């Protein structure tokens, strides 16, 4: 008789997070078009980056604190205006699973 192993949600998320960290241990650069953006009252942002060349390929991004201030300042200085849907950005960050 074969017994199937069953993971809890926490175990699965932890396993996936460990695999991602092993494969991408440091910051990575990613480019995409902002298709969704939400700012919180606490100064954090949640944005969705889409690959303009491949339909359905999206990435959820979370940032907070000084990172947001730096992004906003850089966009304003370049004449791009504010962070908003429809613009293409290149961001650097670490990859992980929210849990």
48-93 per-position pLDDT tens digit: 999 988 888 999 998 888 887 888 888 889 988 888 899 898 889 8
Residue with tokens 């290149």: 90
- Give alpha helix (H) positions in the chain: 9-23, 66-78
- Checking DSSP bridges between strand 88-93 and strand 28-39, what pairing results, if any? antiparallel
For 15, residues 6+ apart whose C-beta sits below 8 A from its C-beta are 7
For residues 29 and 91, the answer to whether their CB atoms sit within 8 Å is: yes
For residues 6 and 66, the answer to whether their CB atoms sit within 8 Å is: no
Q: Is the pTM of this model over 0.85?
A: no
């Amino acid at each position: 008789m074969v017994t199937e192993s069953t993971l809890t949600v926490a175990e699965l998320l932890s396993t996936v997070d460990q695999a991602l960290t092993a494969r991408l241990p440091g910051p990575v650069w990613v480019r995409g078009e902002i298709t969704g953006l939400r700012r919180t009252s606490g100064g954090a942002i949640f944005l969705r980056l889409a690959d303009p060349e491949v339909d359905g390929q999206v990435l959820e991004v979370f940032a907070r604190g000084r990172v947001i201030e730096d992004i906003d300042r850089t966009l304003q200085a370049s004449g791009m205006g504010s962070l908003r849907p429809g613009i293409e950005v290149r961001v650097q960050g670490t990859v992980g699973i929210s849990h």
